[in-house]
A and B are shown apart, each in its own frame.
Chain A
């Protein structure tokens, strides 16, 4: 396949990052544990008084999100750090590869890994639903737009992890990324908090923070999905655009910081 030469290094780094992640046993353990949880939802559903399908979707998609976040954070924060530690970064950067291309490749490689994981976990949830229904259940298909939203959220979190890892240690980056994940789900409160404040400066500060931090409430569709609701096409497109624009901001910031770092 012909690829514009500018994107070739990015593609190569992405492919290698994906291969490296696939070889990582921790990743398998996380996916296995998530699938185990999804399987466990079948048994848990029996305690729910006829709400098996809802429990499977809630637990299955929550596990997909949570374990996806773990993968995005713990693999994401090590992407750059590992290359510096192993000193392989010097070999890469000595070739005609820009620092931005390197980061974009790392990011895309992890996104591809996450895509495969999310697809596997989503398929697990669908299979569990079909098993409980003893055949066809409309939820088997109706959960997939919600899975797409989960994936988009994970792609933003990966970007956040990469940004922090471009200037900080893995432990601190993981902590900060996890905090962004939590704040991102509470950002609606941040907005109402800003509105409730008396002082103008404080109000502007919190309002600014609300717009600055990623708003993950746009991607929270697990609960409605468990009732068979599907986000509208417009909602999906907006969520896709939001994630895309936010990732561009994150990667640009990461590149800016990373390009100023001195590795001598």
Chain B
């Protein structure tokens, strides 16, 4: 009986010690795993799109979803890593600093597996141009080849050309898309607008607004929302600047604080900060006076994109 108790106690001790060993080993393995995981994430993809399609048998749609989600995770992971080491936020339409070298291949495989899958084309149009414009254009051309009746792809391709200030090609692309059955009337209007006004704010606002209305992707919608805020902010800053110039002309000096130009700002129908009287930008952050009160600019904490 006594020896039985002793045996049980020893067994319990062994279990406890083994568990402690398991915990230590798990921690060690987790630490090693992080290193291993970090390396292959940048390795080139083993499979080309056509091979992946062949191997996926009847499950090519599912494989495309997997590559699509992997693209999102890849970008998301890079953004998180960037924000961990940098004070500023990474913006979805300016990810050049993130070294997203795998993204074009991931999106290419996703669209080869499922050429009718529109989300990767849209994502490519929004994200790739900042660091791989040719890839973005090539992917969109492939999409149009596979989906000749999809006017939205023309909209995205036109956007890429418009972003790179190639207004004539943007106009041509919108015009080609406008001729497709089911294309909305504003496609033809966008074609005319980009041809006539190129990079004007009105063209930009319409461009972003239509993309916003058509998108189902929350991330893309957020990006376009910020771009729309930026265009609005440009207009607001022009109006505030004029008010500041008028004040300087009348008083012979620039404004020392927003309170001094409060009456002029009220006539501009801007939202004002109730405490400081500073006009609020479209994201709700107060504008700041610069150049000793002679000019206006965005606050560094504003959600409105600076560039």
Interface residues of A (CB under 8 A from B): 44, 47-51, 54-55, 57-59, 62, 65-66, 182, 185-186, 189, 216, 219-220, 222-224, 226-227, 229
Kindly list chain B residues whose C-beta atoms are within 8 Å of the C-beta of A49.
Answer: 68-69, 72, 119, 123, 217-219
Whether the pair A223, B60 counts as a contact (CB closer than 8 A) is: yes
A selection of 11 A-B contacts at a CB cut-off of 8 Å is A48-B72, A48-B119, A50-B218, A54-B61, A54-B119, A55-B65, A58-B64, A65-B58, A216-B58, A222-B62, A223-B60
Q: What residues of A have a CB within 8 angstroms of the CB of B219 in the complex?
A: 49
B54 contacts A186, CB within 8 Å?
Answer: yes
With A49-B217, A62-B59, A65-B58: A224-B116 Cβ-Cβ less than 8 Å? yes
Q: How many B residues, CB 8 Å from partner?
A: 22
Q: Is B218's CB under 8 angstroms from A51's CB?
A: no
**In the bound complex, CA of A229 to CA of B59 (Å):** 16
Q: Top 3 A-B pairs ranked by shortest CB distance? A: A223-B61, A185-B57, A58-B61
- Smallest CB-CB separation from B75: which chain A residue? A49
Interface of A is mostly: helix
Given A59-B62, A59-B65, A62-B62, A51:B119 Cβ within 8 A: yes
Main secondary structure of the interface of B (DSSP, over half): helix
Chain B residues positioned under 8 Å from A229 (CB to CB): 116
Can you name the residue of chain B whose Cβ is closest to the Cβ of A224? B116
Shortest B211–chain A CB gap in Å is 14
Q: Name the residue among A48, A49, A66, A182 with the largest chain B CB count within 10 angstroms.
A: A49
A50 to B122, CA, bound (A): 12
Q: Are A51 and B57 in contact (CB under 8 A)?
A: no
Would you call A54 and B218 a contact (CB within 8 A)? no
Question: Smallest distance from the beta carbon of B98 to chain A beta carbons, Å?
Answer: 17
- B161-178 residues with Cβ-Cβ distance < 8 A to A are none
Q: Which of A48, A54, A222 is in CB contact (< 8 Å) with B58?
A: A222
| Beta-carbon nearest neighbor of A222 in chain B | B61
Residues of B within 8 Å of A59, CB to CB, are 62, 65
Determine if A51 and B68 form an interchain contact, defined as CB atoms under 8 angstroms apart.
Answer: yes
| Assembly CA distance A35 to B114 (angstroms) | 24
CA distance A57 to B73 in the complex (A): 21
| CB-CB under 8 A for A62 and B61, given A49-B219, A50-B217 | yes
> Given known contacts A49-B219, A57-B61, A216-B58, what 20 new A-B pairs fall within 8 Å (CB)?
A47-B72, A47-B73, A48-B119, A49-B68, A49-B72, A49-B123, A49-B218, A50-B218, A51-B65, A55-B69, A58-B59, A58-B62, A58-B65, A62-B58, A62-B59, A219-B58, A222-B62, A223-B60, A223-B116, A229-B116
Closest to A53 in B: B216
Q: How far is the CA of A219 from the CA of B114 in the complex (A)?
A: 16
Candidate in A62, A65, A182, A223 with the most chain B CB atoms within 10 angstroms: A223
- Nearest to A55 among chain B residues (CB) is B65
Alpha-carbon distance A186/B216, docked complex (angstroms): 34
- Give min CB distance, B110 to chain A, whole Å: 11
**Interfacial chain A residues near B217, Cβ < 8 Å:** 49-50
Task: Convert B53-84 into 0s and 1s, putting 1 for each residue whose CB lies closer than 8 angstroms to a CB of A.
Answer: 01001111110110011001100000000000
Closest Cβ of chain A to B273, distance in Å, is 35
Cβ of B234 within 8 Å of any chain A Cβ, yes or no, is no
